[in-house]
Amino acid sequence: MKVMRIDSHILAQNNMILIFCQRILYKFRVYETKMEKTEVEVMMELKGYQKGINLGGWLSQCVSYTKEHFDTFILEDDIKKIAGWGMDHIRLPIDYDVIETDLGEDKEEGYQHIDDCIKWCQKYHLNIVLDLHKSFGYMFDKNEVPEPDKFFTDTTLQERFYALWNKLAKRYACNKDFMIFELLNEVVN
């Protein structure tokens, strides 16, 4: 079975597709002409990820991709306030171009903002969802990248995506006790 989409919530194997949505696992059997739902299961509750805040606008969908913006938009005190409100996690969306160039070279200053957020979350006992919000060649807003559907068929763009996630996983896998990965934001194309 060939899967044309990459999505953190869909797993395709043999002729079965598993779709995870709102802590429910839907299983579908795929036939040549149709998909048939075979069963629905309530999955294990993801503890520590029940009440959270999205930090959009900081390292993703930025109004300004400047040092001043990145250095001032979210601060340690903001993370402290979020923890004080009783939240158990933050979602940290990042655009690829905050942490790497269009040629795929690392931007260490971008990674430093992620590292700072991780340090603050550890200090205030918050879990983290690290979300790749925009990948080279893909953005959920079809007006943001030329040929947004090309990402799903272009192996060069996909290899670039894999390489970035390989770097992110190597760098942040040590945080597995309080961090999960969201591979790609809002796959809608």
User: What one-character DSSP code corresponds to residue 13?
Assistant: E
Q: Report the Cα–Cα distance between both ends of the chain, in Å, rounded.
A: 20
d(CA 6, CA 4): 7
DSSP code, position 44: P
As a whole number of angstroms, the distance between CA 123 and CA 117 comes to 10
Confirm whether 45 is a catalytic residue.
Answer: no
Query: What's the CA gap between 76 and 78, in Å, rounded?
Result: 5
Candidate list 109, 144, 159, 186, residue with the active-site label: 186
Active site residues: 186
